[in-house]
Structure 1
Amino acid sequence: MTFSAEKQADILSDLLNCRRRDLPFPAGIEATWLEEGVLQLIPRQASAALVLSAGIHGNETAPVEMLAALLASLSSGQQPLNQALLLIFGNLPALRAGKRYLHSDMNRLFGGRHRQAMPGNESRRAARLEKVTSDFFQRADAAGVLPRYHLDMHTAIRGSRFPQFALIPSHHHDYQAEFYVLLDACDLDAVVQHTAPGGTFSHFVSETFRAQSCTLELGKALPFGSNTLSRFAATDLAIRALLAGTPLPTRTQPPMRFFTVAESIIKTSSSFRLNLDAAVENFTQLPAGYAIASENGKIWRVEDAAPWILFPNARVAPGLRAGLLLKPAAARFSS
């Protein structure tokens, strides 16, 4: 990662302290702050439109630091830009507070769900992010810029046996092999295919704009200053190559594993119980027949063909997902 650490720190400080400073950019790049923490960069010529988002959850800081570093490199001219780019720093008030969210989980409010949510910071912000993303792709369409990409970068609450992985939203349009090649170049450990629609930002962008969109989980959620960004160097290099229009880096890790969601465990009441140790890691393989959760007489049992658990969390609000059971899937491209 080639960037000025001092400039990165200044950008991050400005974002967190609600200061909008006009950054200089090389000639030929049109830079526009569309909202607080939302920057649009349009070069003279572009062959793709890319949305990069981070901080949709305010306690997930590593991707925010990564985007601040990328922004410093773009501003200084160290990073070439040959694609239309929308940079989104998501939930700034929650980032300032060091909390996952202030009123509602923002990553459950997209696709218009913010209209039924508790009024507050996250519902307002989700609505605005939908609007600026739509405007960005409309501008790219007018200029004849295709394809469309979106990487929504997160970190996970708990540890994981596959620390870095992608979540592909349920979709009806084609996802190209080139997109999986991009994920492969990020040195991700696994790819998980959702099978049902959801309120995530990546699902909204995929469904609404037929974009190649996914959620990236890059390690564990840590406070600002506690992240080791070198762990995500492959993802950073792949993004930079995409922006520059240069060849993607060569994968250095074992082949990615592919999974599909076999069942979503949805909590509907306060009687819900999850029969897992609080320290159990994502992608833990559970024994067939294990009673993983219960609620009002209903019991969820692990199936022999789908023994992996992802995102177990009994503390979610009623109506939300308390875990996913996964089964293996075929690779989506030839490496």
Structure 2
Amino acid sequence: MTMPAMLDDFLAFSLAGSRPSADAASGLCANGAVRWQWLDHGVMQFEPCASHDGVDRQSSVLASAGIHGDETAPIELLSFVARDIANSTLPLACRLFVVLGNLDAMRAGRRYLDDDLNRLFSGRHLQLPQSHEAPRAATLERLAGQFFAAAPAGGARWHIDMHTAIRASMFEQFALLPHTGAPLSREMFEWLRDARIAAVLLHTTKASTFSHYSAETCGALACTLELGKVRPFGKNDLARFAGADEALRALIGRRPEHGATRGGELPRVFTVIDQITKQSDAFELLLAADVANFTPFPKDTLLARDGDYRYTVRHDEERIVFPNPTVKPGLRAGLLVVETTGETHAALS
């Protein structure tokens, strides 16, 4: 069985803007064991054709990368996952939905063209109808919603959204969990441990990210992974991302022994307690340009000012994540977190 070009190199096919003809938009791969379907540029669905040992057709996994176009390492990893499913190197044991996000930004080597795609989900794209990114957010919402709507009742639902960070971090690889009000999942924390994620950041308010959309609207166990620093295509040391790659492959291949044999401590946990918001173009972030994510600051440290606005550390220690003074006015210029490891681990369901 000849593998279609789009499966052999899904990334190259997607970046080329190629669109298959109607009679070539679906078929069988993995020696007939998997049915695939091209749904849109950068969007593909895979499903095992029949039950066999190890297959759990009740489970549905959404794996996404490239929601920011310059975060290339996870994009490359996800393209390899599609290839390996197609050529039977990676046996598929669940329904799988693969998304390469902001293709136009990927082609331009930029984070986004008009607006951050990862701030346009849960309907926020309707507020920015002229944005280049708005139609893509609407398309990904619709297709992801359809994927989970067709999921078998009672089956596990996961969304792994893979990113890389703009700057260095005191924890090179960390995760963010959306806030929906649901109890935190021990299964998610154990998966993050297996992915060698060192820290987890807990949001405390609703957001407009892709992972928040899938968690709140689609009922998925969802996370955003930050796996290292932004680099151009072809310049990534993918061995640095082996933990996340192996854990994702274990999840979609349903190999429970992956987690059972790794063991070790669960990731440290930090909870968002505030954010710095850029009010105007007079905004000043009073930090070194290269300050790392999770850098701690003691009480009474002045971190930002903007006209009459000031942000001063109120707790004995607060750490800053995603400091970025170049965002548009009205957007977040940094998150402030405090460590909550002990109480979070104790409360896991």
TM-score (norm 1): 0.92
**Is 2:61–2:157's contact at 8 Å kept on the other side of the alignment?**
yes
1:180 aligns with 2:189: yes
Superposition pairs for residues 271-286 of structure 1, below 5 Å?
Answer: 271-286=282-297
SS at match of 2:227: strand
**Is 1:187–1:252's contact at 8 Å kept on the other side of the alignment?**
no
**Is 1:53–1:153's contact at 8 Å kept on the other side of the alignment?**
yes
- Cα distance in 2 for partners of 1:158, 1:245 equals 33
1:28 aligns with 2:27: no
- Cα distance in 2 for partners of 1:8, 1:225 equals 19
> What whole-Å deviation, never above 9, does each CA across 1:110-158 have from its counterpart, x for those lacking one?
0100011152431000000000001001111xx3351110011000000
**Is 1:114–1:126's contact at 8 Å kept on the other side of the alignment?**
yes
Superposition pairs for residues 72-111 of structure 1, below 5 Å?
Answer: 72-111=83-122
Amino acid at match of 1:241: A
**Is 1:49–1:145's contact at 8 Å kept on the other side of the alignment?**
no
1:155 aligns with 2:154: no
**Is 2:11–2:79's contact at 8 Å kept on the other side of the alignment?**
yes
**CA displacement at 1:207 relative to structure 2:** 1.0
Equivalent position of 1:139 in the other structure? 150
Equivalent position of 1:14 in the other structure? 13
**CA displacement at 1:298 relative to structure 2:** 1.7
Amino acid at match of 1:25: C
Equivalent position of 2:44 in the other structure? 39
1:329 aligns with 2:340: yes
1:60 aligns with 2:57: no
**CA displacement at 1:10 relative to structure 2:** 3.4
Equivalent position of 2:319 in the other structure? 308
1:288 aligns with 2:296: no
> What whole-Å deviation, never above 9, does each CA across 1:90-120 have from its counterpart, x for those lacking one?
0011101101111111110001000111524
Superposition pairs for residues 126-275 of structure 1, below 5 Å?
Answer: 126-140=137-151, 143-144=152-153, 146-247=155-256, 248-249=258-259, 250-251=261-262, 255-275=266-286
**CA displacement at 1:53 relative to structure 2:** 0.5
Equivalent position of 1:3 in the other structure? none
**CA displacement at 1:333 relative to structure 2:** 4.5
**CA displacement at 1:12 relative to structure 2:** 2.3
**CA displacement at 1:7 relative to structure 2:** 9.4
Superposition pairs for residues 104-119 of structure 1, below 5 Å?
Answer: 104-119=115-130
Unaligned runs of at least 5 residues, structure 2: 52-56
Moved more, 88-97 or 175-184: 175-184
> What whole-Å deviation, never above 9, does each CA across 1:30-58 have from its counterpart, x for those lacking one?
21111111001122351311100000000
- Cα distance in 1 for partners of 2:28, 2:97 equals 17
**Is 2:203–2:271's contact at 8 Å kept on the other side of the alignment?**
yes
Amino acid at match of 1:113: R
- The structure-2 alpha-carbon separation of the partners of 1:58 and 1:310, relative to structure 1 and needing over 3 Å to count, comes to same
**Is 1:181–1:333's contact at 8 Å kept on the other side of the alignment?**
no
- Cα distance in 2 for partners of 1:218, 1:293 equals 27
Unaligned runs of at least 5 residues, structure 1: 1-5
**Is 1:173–1:210's contact at 8 Å kept on the other side of the alignment?**
no
**CA displacement at 1:175 relative to structure 2:** 3.3
- Cα distance in 2 for partners of 1:264, 1:237 equals 33
Amino acid at match of 1:274: L
**CA displacement at 1:245 relative to structure 2:** 1.2
* Backbone CA RMSD of aligned residues: 2.2
- The structure-2 alpha-carbon separation of the partners of 1:251 and 1:301, relative to structure 1 and needing over 3 Å to count, comes to farther
- Cα distance in 1 for partners of 2:305, 2:329 equals 14
SS at match of 1:13: helix
- The structure-2 alpha-carbon separation of the partners of 1:39 and 1:7, relative to structure 1 and needing over 3 Å to count, comes to closer
- The structure-2 alpha-carbon separation of the partners of 1:232 and 1:151, relative to structure 1 and needing over 3 Å to count, comes to same
Moved more, 40-49 or 228-237: 40-49
Amino acid at match of 1:181: E
SS at match of 1:307: strand
**CA displacement at 1:256 relative to structure 2:** 1.8
**Is 2:192–2:267's contact at 8 Å kept on the other side of the alignment?**
no
1:124 aligns with 2:141: no
**CA displacement at 1:210 relative to structure 2:** 2.0
**CA displacement at 1:209 relative to structure 2:** 1.4
How many percent identity over aligned positions?
41
**Is 2:36–2:47's contact at 8 Å kept on the other side of the alignment?**
yes
Moved more, 228-237 or 294-303: 294-303
